[in-house]
Structure 1
Amino acid sequence: MPWVEVRGGSIRVKWWGGQYKLDADGKPTKKKLYESASGPQPGIPFKDEEEAYTYGLDREHDVRHGKHIPRASAQTLMKDYCWLWFERADLRPNSQRTYRSMLKSVIVPYWGERPIGEITALEYDLWKKQVRARYSDNYAGQVLSLFRMLMNDAVLKYKLRADVPIIEQPRRGRYEKKRTRRVKRIMPVEVVHQLASNAHHVWGFTGWVYIWTIAFTAMRPPGEMWGLQRGYASPNWPASDPDTERREEALERYQGMHVLRVQYQLYYVNSRPTLAGPKYDSHRSLVIPPFLHEMHEALLASHNSPWVFTAKRGGPLLGTQFARDYWHPIRDGRPATVPKKKGYERFARPALPAVEAMAGQDLYRL
């Protein structure tokens, strides 16, 4: 049971917080650890002994039912919690980079000095409004999603606060039209052919095959396309698969078909090229049409690179200015280039038409 102490003009209540004192080896002893409070809220004293006693009873009720949050835990600063959470989170390299950036540039600068247990719904709504006003819809949504994840783990996993300060109430406040995702329409084959033709002028045969591969496999650019290795292309897979069980199963299942394997994506992690699993662990085998298989055969016969798709000079695509030097001229076209100096005729380039159906679109929209 809690007990109340009256000293001068102040009233304090103590209760058992559900924990025991630890010995020198870090093992719990039989000595209980008590918590205390001088008011229901910081800076607000108890009105009388009865209010203090009731407050202590409520705390002990929370202890018995596993709902009690120790005061020391609730006083953990957000700047400490955020980075402890980040270290313990099991994240993919790309997610690590994204989350680290959002914590460092947005969440910690704003919330860092606030105790995690004192963040209120009102404060969150104020911050949410600032984030929405300052950043793009996509980035703001990612930041708010990460903050929600932090708060959920603080409540459910680490017991640092009693509830989540994020309250979603539909149809409250100013009306906002629901944002809908852009509809991905069926792309006419004539559009794909024009893109592939432009890519052939910009990038050679590799560009021609690159566009047709995206259109007929829906592989995610750039990571999955750049990470497609020779051994996982249809001319070699599944016979070349290093996994014995998967190889035998695929040889039986895909007999008489042409199949490529999406096993990796390629990107930078801490400035180093890294092969990682595809997004959402979506490893998959894709049956491709014979004409695309023949293109891959011809492409692999034209170079010795371990990557199926190489840059203009034969190296990996990772590290190139792909949007500027490849995709934009393919999508937006370019004027003709006519060298004026004699002996530079080899640098002549024909004019390429813009592909209006893809105007302003990213490659993944193909």
Structure 2
Amino acid sequence: MTSGLSVGVEGTGAFAEQVGPGSWRVRYWTDDGVHGSLTGFTTREQARDKAAEIDVERRRGTFIDPAAGNLRLGEWAPRWLEALDVAEATESQYNSLTRKHIVPRWGESGVGDISGMDVHVWARNLRRAGYAESTVATIVKILSMMLADAADERLIVANPIRPCRRGRRRRERRREIVWATPEQALNAAATCGVWAGLMIVTAAWSGCRWGEICGLQTYRLSPRPRPDRGPVGDRS
């Protein structure tokens, strides 16, 4: 049972309210037009100071309803994914990684309860579990974008995920790219049959990627090299 003792002007702004011996709360108006509540204050002065802080933030337009951060990530993620406007392959990847990694770990957490340090620990554990660095980076990027948009929608104050500067910087050994010599390319082509050999020779001397070679059509080729297009010129 509350004592009913309020400090402040109820109805026009935030105010302090006693809810028991040595227990106070702050009541404030939410964007939905109902009273929100912040509890845990042990003195009237603490509650009044918080109420005044909320009123100042409202006048500045910077107030974020603390209750908005209670929205579970498992509820926010489907809304965020639905609003994506990306390539089909990218959307499929984001859905898959969200379903397999993000929601199982963070689905029951409020968006306002996710901390940057907890995310970095989670990412480290994923790497230790054997996931590739690029996969972990993409997973964290997706979660970071979700939280950045949550901040834009005024669910949280700011995206808590920041670059990690704890410990040593990881230096990964880069795989050396080995280029075939003309003789090696011709030898490989000679062992693969006519059509595959032709593709190998074309790729080796044109610099085209494999997907470009597979989609190449003869009627789109220029018989003479052009400085701006290389040895394989597209007529378009």
Same fold (TM over 0.5): yes
C-alpha distance in 2, partners of 1:98/1:62?
39
Which consecutive unaligned segments of at least 5 residues does structure 1 have?
22-31, 39-44, 239-253, 260-285, 294-366
C-alpha distance in 2, partners of 1:220/1:162?
45
Q: Which residue of 2 aligns with 1:276?
A: none
Alignment counterpart, residue 186 of structure 2, candidates 180, 193, 211: 193
The residue type equivalent to 2:151 in the other structure is V
Q: Which residue of 2 aligns with 1:26?
A: none
Q: 2:140 matched to 1:136? A: no
| Contact 1:257-1:287 within 8 A present in 2 as well | no
Q: CA deviation at 1:182?
A: 3.0
Q: CA deviation at 1:181?
A: 3.5
Q: Matched residue of 1:287: which SS?
A: coil
Q: Matched residue of 1:114: which SS?
A: coil
In percent, how many aligned pairs have the same letter?
A: 22
Q: CA deviation at 1:142?
A: 1.9
**Map 1:85-234 → 2, pairs under 5 A:** 85-134=80-129, 135-156=131-152, 158-170=153-165, 172-173=166-167, 175-200=168-193, 205-222=194-211, 224-226=212-214, 228=215, 233=217
Aligned residue pairs, count:
219
| Contact 1:16-1:60 within 8 A present in 2 as well | no
Q: CA deviation at 1:195?
A: 2.5
Which consecutive unaligned segments of at least 5 residues does structure 2 have?
1-12
C-alpha distance in 2, partners of 1:180/1:65?
50
Q: Deviations over 1:331-364 (max 9, x none)?
A: xxxxxxxxxxxxxxxxxxxxxxxxxxxxxxxxxx
Q: CA deviation at 1:111?
A: 0.6
Cα distance change, pair 72–195 in 1 and its aligned pair in 2 (3 A): farther
Q: Deviations over 1:160-217 (max 9, x none)?
A: 21122223243x32x34412543435442222222222332xxxx2211222333344
C-alpha distance in 1, partners of 2:206/2:63?
53
**Map 1:191-340 → 2, pairs under 5 A:** 191-200=184-193, 205-222=194-211, 224-226=212-214, 228=215, 233=217, 235-237=218-220, 257=224, 287-289=229-231
The residue type equivalent to 1:4 in the other structure is A
Q: 2:58 matched to 1:75? A: no
The residue type equivalent to 1:178 in the other structure is R
| Contact 1:216-1:288 within 8 A present in 2 as well | no
Q: Matched residue of 1:162: which SS?
A: coil
Q: CA deviation at 1:76?
A: 1.3
Q: CA deviation at 1:109?
A: 0.8
C-alpha distance in 1, partners of 2:188/2:53?
69
- Over aligned residues, Cα RMSD in angstroms? 2.8
Q: TM-score, normalised by structure 2?
A: 0.78
Cα distance change, pair 177–128 in 1 and its aligned pair in 2 (3 A): closer
Cα distance change, pair 189–56 in 1 and its aligned pair in 2 (3 A): farther
C-alpha distance in 1, partners of 2:50/2:213?
61
The residue type equivalent to 1:152 in the other structure is A
Q: Which residue of 2 aligns with 1:34?
A: 35
Q: Matched residue of 2:172: which SS?
A: coil
